[in-house]
Amino acid sequence: MEPLDPLDAAMMTAELISNPMHVGALLILSPPPDAGPDYVDELYAAATKCESVDPRLRRYPHRGLDTGGIWVWREVDTVDFNQHCQRRTLSSERAELWPLIGELHAERLDRSRPMWMSYLIDGLDGGRFAFYLKVHHTVVDGVAGFRMIADALSSDPQVRSTAPFYADRSGEPEVPTGPGGLVRRLVAPIRSVVEKATSGIELAEHVLTGELQTVIDSLVGHRTVLPFGAPHTRFNCRLGPQRAVCAASWTKSRIRAVQDAADVTANDVATAVIAGVLRRWLSDRGELPTQSLVASCPITVRSRASDPANEQHGNMFGLWMCPLGTDLDDPAARLQLIHRSMAEGKRWVTKRGSTASLVTNAGSIAATVISPLLPFTPKVRTGYNLPISHVPGPPTEMYWNGAHVEDIYPVSTVFDGQSLNVTTCSYADRIGFGYVAGAEVMPDIQALIPLTEACLTELEYAVGARRC
């Protein structure tokens, strides 16, 4: 009987009274030129057959009298693929895809069996189809989930016998899946932040010095914010049961041109574009706060050449509260503010460690997710307004049993107090922007796609990456 880690157990308990805690991804694919009329049917049939399943995807959480009220992992002997791999068909209108993804993403995973689902969706325009996967956050984090998907892909379009994403690859050699060195690495579930501390004394020291430095940075450097340092918005209310999802991709060359012109990082550019989108969307509705919105931004501490012994940890990141500069008219000024803040955040997390950064920001997290659950909470301040994450995907064009992967989009988690989530994913020569929100919070979520294009164009002109 294997107990859940404290953080995992807390998420399972919170989900009983709150919102689903799973992460997802959507792949848009086009069949190979030689595909027959039954190609997708054959893919689906192959996907429901697998001799050995990844151990993480065979287990499920359980709590009862037999465990003394403690959350533990149980494991099934055989996975019923008919329960976990489903088929959907759309009409000829691709516009139906995103409402369907919103519906599927809103559904809770059944905790009486392994907590993952996959959907093969055909009927898209041009003969294309989609693959949507969701896995509970106690099983994998976003980075580990994308690596799991990448391991089921190939850079060779002639490979037609790739095992499905849920296959057990623990015995396979670690070899690149394509140029750029994307390595076959399976990352275990999220571990407790306490487990990362080398000692309680060291953790306390990091947290105390971190809190003091956070105060100094906030009052003097204006590069981060304290708990209740973000303005309250509609994104920080209680979340309903429905979800709204949309996504689109833009070429890396446009992001890189802004990056080079402004001497910032690609993630800084993407965050600044998102900041511009939020500023415009809220302003159009007369809801733009005079104070800057704040994003909760994960900062990875997993090196590209990390020790394989550390790969058992799936939650190797710190956290930083980044002001988005939505109170600034100049998009170039917003970009520089974000760049300065995130540069300081990387130094801060590197110096003090991911655990200290997570604990130091516990006040901001609590102020965001607990306040909406209270009956008479003043809607004045919150800890942060939304999370913004950037996930690295495969660096080259990939294929799934001959089908070309055209786009990869993240479909992230939202919950009470955090009813908007924006995640980007790099893939080959483009970057996908994925927006997830409560349907009642952002019913017109598709409007964010043209706003993203407009704000990227605005930023290009502002830094001189594009000339009038």
Task: Give the residue numbers marked as catalytic.
Answer: 137
Burial of 184 (0-12, 13-18, 19+ CB in 10 A): middle
Query: In angstroms, rounded to a whole number, what is the distance separating the alpha carbons of residues 288 and 391?
Result: 28
Cα separations (Å) of 116 from 56, 92, 104, 134, 228?
Answer: 10, 28, 12, 6, 35
Take residue 192 and report the two structure tokens written for it.
């407790």
Residue 309 burial (C-beta neighbours within 10 Å; 0-12, 13-18, 19+):
exposed
- Under DSSP, is residue 230 helix (H, G, I), strand (E, B) or coil? strand
Cα distances from 36 to residues 39, 120, 123, 391, in angstroms, run: 5, 17, 15, 34
In 152-265, alpha helices (H): 200-216, 252-262
Residue 222 backbone class (left: φ over 0; alpha: ψ -120 to 50; beta: rest)? left
> 108, 415 in Cβ contact below 8 A?
no
Q: Are 278 and 272 a contacting pair, CB within 8 Å?
A: no
